[in-house]
Amino acid sequence: MSFGVSTPFITNLSGVSVGSLSSPTRTSMQYTPSSYNPSTLSNGINGLSMGAIGSVLKNLNKYPFGDLPDDTLICRGGGCTAQQFIQGAESVGSDGSLSGVSVRVGRNGESAEELLQSLPKGFGGQGKVINLGQLKSAGVTLEQEGTDAMHGVMDKAGPSAAEDLEALFESGEGLIDTIVGEL
Amino acid sequence: MKKLTFIYCDLNKLAYQDTYPLKNRVVLGEIKKAYGEITDKMQIWIYSDTFKNGKFDPMVYPGIIYKLGSEYDLRVDKEDMKYLSESEKFRDYSVVDIIGRESFETMNKEHPKWF
């Protein structure tokens, strides 16, 4: 995935083991929206627009997961329809490519049931599960986003990205062997 | 009385951050279509695809859009998030009113047990 200005930052992180980081050491570089009042920041800093600054800071908030095994489970809460993948993506390319689709990542070997139970409470344990190998085979890329070590974002290129993701997550139904009721 | 239009917000993302970036051109188009040109601190109504007791029961809540240069952030008070089935304000709204007929029919076709 191309982040423009963030590429050198990603490269600089290549030697950092993020697998064991529950609270990344680069916290000071992360976007901390609660620390500012956007209504007071309208003129930018040193000639940069606030939009450009915000974009840079948000991109710094993403970094690689590191080497996770292909059987790592990935879970997304909710209906997981093509329309929800489109509407839930951070951005949609002119060709239909999607970027920034949020998922939970079982980076510590969590089971499907454990991942479903870790979803935000509103989902009531309802979601779909797939494994990392399936995602990689389909050309989906995955990065960690934010300070939650299990929060990942997917990118999928191509005009049928949303339909492809829907089909992928449908195909993972067999990974869920326990029906979870309301949590 | 015309019913309000609700905009989808992904709880998978919203739950893990304080703000929700609005860069998605599809969603921005839906907001403009329903609410007009986006202005700083504009309030919109939002839904998320949530479940209660195994049944689809969208959460409905207000959000405020902040304009940051040419970009937008959506901010939500998580205390405002309510299941449609528990919302006094929207007790006259159906699931179709909230998520739209197309989304409803897609999900109902694939997962009739949710409804």
Given a cut of 50, the residues of chain B with pLDDT beneath it are none
Distance between CA atoms of B72 and B69, rounded to whole angstroms? 8
Per the model's pLDDT, the better-predicted residue between A7 and A107 turns out to be A107
What confidence tier does A175 reach under pLDDT thresholds 50, 70, 90? low
Task: Quote the DSSP letter at residue B70.
Answer: T
**A183 at interface of B, judged by CB pairs closer than 8 A:** no
* CB-based contact B68 A34, cutoff 8 Å: no
Q: Copy the structure tokens of residue A26.
A: 């680069």
B41-65 pLDDT tens trace: 999 999 999 999 999 999 999 999 9
Backbone angles phi, psi at B59, to 5 degrees: -85, 140
> B114: Cβ–Cβ under 8 A, 6 or more apart, which residues?
A79, A126, B51, B54, B55, B56, B107, B108
* A2 pLDDT more than 50: no
**A51 at interface of B, judged by CB pairs closer than 8 A:** yes
Among A28-32, A111-115, A148-152, the range scoring the smallest mean pLDDT is: A28-32
Cα angle value A149/A59/B12 (rounded, 5°):
45
Q: What is the mean pLDDT of chain A?
A: 72
* A110 pLDDT more than 90: yes
> A152: Cβ–Cβ under 8 A, 6 or more apart, which residues?
A65, A74, A102, A103, A104, A105, A142, A143, A144, A145
Identity of the residue numbered A55:
S
Query: A105 near A142, Cβ under 8 Å?
Result: yes
**A52 at interface of B, judged by CB pairs closer than 8 A:** yes
Predicted pLDDT of residue A3: 32
Predicted pLDDT of residue B18: 77
* CB-based contact A122 B11, cutoff 8 Å: yes
Q: What is the ipTM of this complex?
A: 0.93
A53-97 pLDDT tens trace: 454 555 557 888 878 999 999 999 998 999 999 999 999 999 999
Q: How far apart are the CA of B18 and the nearest CA of chain A, in angstroms? A: 7
